[in-house]
Amino acid sequence: MQVLVIGCGISGLTTGISLLRAGYSVHIKAKDLPPNTTSNIAAAVWYPYNAFPRDRITAWGKIAFRIFQTHATKPETGVLMRSFLEVKPAPVGDPWWLEAVESFRHATPDELPAGYADGYVFETPVIDTSRYLPYLMQVFQQEGGLITRETVTTLGDALTEYPIVINCSGLGARELVGDRDIHAGRGQTIRIKQNGFQRVIVDDEGPNKLAYIVPRTSDIILGGVDEENNENTSIIPEQNSGILQRCANLAPQFANLKPEDILSVQCGLRPLRSRIRLEAERPVPDRLLVHNYGHGGSGVTLSWGCATEVVTLVKQHTA
């Protein structure tokens, strides 16, 4: 049975591969292909961020976590397992997503930067999307999938040609399906040379909110910015100094960066929604449409879990 997947970011590619492995014939069509997708800009560390509903995110995230663990054993994927430290300004209980991860503990006092009273520590996958997305494209094509750079403007035409359509269009869902719930969250990050720093550090609610340090295979991503309903993808130079200062406050290794240490600055738009849309519908009796978009800042974190549920929905509705 032929399936069209709209979108070639992390959601489209993982969904496409999962459907191929379930026995379907899959064609991906997308306006932009890697390296020019939103997923390419993501810092891409496994961490549930700005996505809902929580009760489903834990299950989806757990599936993705385990698959990323297996990919971390293959150097060509660009996936690494890193120690993750999320710092907190006051003592806190365990996180709601605890069940999805392994080797979790609270931080010891000597691990915390000045101004923090608690923190979470666990091993987590870091996904270098500059390597991982090309890897996924190669796997998809080797397993028989077809990728075409083509903008799908109407679902009607897509459903005329394909009996099953999977909508992984991200922000494009506003125009494609008229979804006014989905909106942008602007993010700006700085990519610097690898300096040997190995731990992921995140402050999402403390004195340096928002700051994160994500060491990848051959570089480090420093962030960040989270501006809801801002779709300006131009680089704002003034924000760079703030990012650098906040990251230096978290780790002194980043206090004296030189201009030549900075490789690039990038800006992308997170596809935010009040809740992830992952559901199936039949626009007409003999056609199936499955939506998989609105993952906020957790597109990579939930990718394989949501892809697995897409396959389940397709099987249920075509049995």
- Per residue in 58-87, pLDDT (tens digit) is 999 999 999 999 999 999 999 999 999 999
Residue 203: the pLDDT is 98
pTM equals 0.96
Find the CATH number of the domain harbouring 247.
3.40.50.720
Under-70 pLDDT residues of the chain: none
User: What type of residue is 51?
Assistant: A
**Bind-site residues for FAD:** 38-39, 152, 296-301
Cα dist from 4 to 7, 79, 235, whole Å: 10, 28, 34
Output the known binding site for D-dopa: 212, 270, 297
Q: Residue 126: which domain range?
A: 2-318
Per-residue pLDDT tens over the stretch 160-214: 999 999 999 999 999 999 999 999 999 999 999 999 999 999 999 999 999 999 9
On the question of a cis peptide bond just before residue 224, with omega within 30 degrees of 0, the verdict is yes
The Cα 5–Cα 18 span in angstroms is 11
Annotated binding-site members: 38-39, 152, 212, 270, 296-301
DSSP SS3 for 218: coil
**Cα–Cα distances in Å, from 279 out to 3, 138, 312?**
16, 28, 11
In the chain, how many domains are there? 1
The rounded distance, in Å, linking the Cα atoms of 63 and 306 is: 9
> Would you call 177 exposed, middle or buried from its count of C-beta atoms within 10 A (0-12, 13-18, 19+)?
middle
